[in-house]
Amino acid sequence: MEAHPIIPHLFKTEYRKIAAVLFRRFGFDHFETAEDIVSDTFLSATETWQRQGLPDNPVAWLYTVAGNKAKNLLKHQQVVTRNAAANAGHETTEEMPEIDLSPENIRDSQLQMMFTVCHPAIPAEAQIGLALRLLCGFSITEIADAFLTSKETINKRLLRGKDKLREANIAIQFPGPDETGRRLEIVLRTLYLLFNEGYYSASHNTPLRRELCFEAMRLTQLLTENAATNQPPVNALLALMCFQSSRFDARTSSSGDTILYSDQDTSLWNDALIAQGEHYLHHSSQGDQLTRYHLEAGIAYWHTIRQDTPDKWQQILQLYNHLLQLEYSPIAALNRTYVLSRVHGKAKAIAEAEKLQLNGHHLYHTLLGELYTGADNQQALLHFEKAMMLCSAPADKKLIAAKMLRCR
């Protein structure tokens, strides 16, 4: 039976909302039961709407049907419990179950699920997988495609994550006030990694996966809508995501090829997203906390400045200097050397880049090839050839090949 065209869209937007409420109501001991109810609700919609046509309010229909299915199951469980208690000579006074699918409870349930799947007891790779499955409504196939692995691997990864949640008896709830800051750091790290997986996946055929980026943004925005989690680092991360997303339309060509920053059509940059980024960046400046997200948001902000002035690159260089002092990473150090070339010239940048000795990374050799081009084309070609050998992503290989052609 063919599904109504609106159902795939509603599955993307409403599955995760209904599921979050039911996960919270049933708990992880009955996780599969909650999933079955949501799946059965969409199956009922497919069958009923095919026969009777689309209801006036499809979302309300889904919520009503899902709520009724959940309540019927809970009532059945109550009857079984009551009969067992009566046979044992006990009395039970359980209230009739309620399923609250109000916007407020959906938001609270999603936030609590976010902290649950990002619990420190769960491995980082499982956190991202669980977030995509439970908070974003991605299918196993979609998650496997995102990480370029098999459905079996993803199923095992998610199963291990769920088992950890059960074994540790982790409740679906907000952490206490003393724990919120520490737990929020883990949530932000997971959302940051999820966004980066969409923004640049070294192993994927597609250089940009917008759906992953936008899901990370949606979940981060949820955090800004709650008083307990609307903290400066959250706003800084959301600002970073807005600034990076603002250049999506300019980052790839109509054929899907990557377009480097210096070659982008700045008229395609999204001014509304840039303005949103500035809004969240302003809110992130409250207080005296400085995180990597603040500094990376600042770097991304300066990249949205269309005028290519020396001051722009000097500001970016200073931010990279602060970032490396706060939290060193080889990729950040590599990116800094490119900025250094814009401020102090290629010779100084080459000297700094070669100190990094990131010989096993294709981005390192790509950058050196770029820096040597025009000064020593033979050396540039050697680095491009090494980059090509180390690179696995087709989009990157195509970009390196174009650089080699220009160099020759």
- Among the listed residues 308, 252, 306, 229, the one whose alpha carbon sits nearest the alpha carbon of residue 274: 306
Least confident of 45-59, 71-85, 377-391: 71-85
| pLDDT 10s digits, 364-398 | 999 999 999 998 999 999 999 999 999 877 878 88
- Burial track 137-155 (b if 16+ CB lie within 10 A, e otherwise): bbebeebbbbbeeeeeebe
Contact at 8 Å (CB) between 233 and 223? Answer: no
Pick the CATH number of 324-408 from 1.20.1250.20, 1.25.40.10, 3.10.129.10, 3.30.2270.10: 1.25.40.10
Would you state the pLDDT for residue 384? 93
DSSP type of residue 131: I
**pLDDT for res 91:** 56
pLDDT band at 232 (very low <50, low <70, confident <90, very high): very high
Flag whether pLDDT at 176 surpasses 70: yes
Helix/strand/coil for 252: strand
> Is 136 or 233 the better-scoring residue by pLDDT?
233
364-374 as b/e, with b when 16 or more CB fall inside 10 Å? bbbbbbbbbbe
- How many residues are recorded in the chain? 408
Computed over every residue of the chain, the mean pLDDT equals 88
Burial 284-313 (b: 16+ CB within 10 A, else e): beeeeeebbbbbbbbbbbbbbeeeeeeebb
Count other Cβ atoms within 10 Å, centred on residue 395: 20
Higher pLDDT, 61 or 5: 61
Q: What is the mean pLDDT of residues 210-219?
A: 90
Give the separation between CA 289 and CA 44, rounded to whole angstroms. 50
* Domain-wise residue ranges, the chain: 6-101, 324-408
How much of the chain exceeds pLDDT 90, in percent? 55
Residue 81: predicted pLDDT: 55
Residue of 254 and 281 predicted with greater confidence: 281
Dist. CA 405–CA 408, nearest whole Å = 5
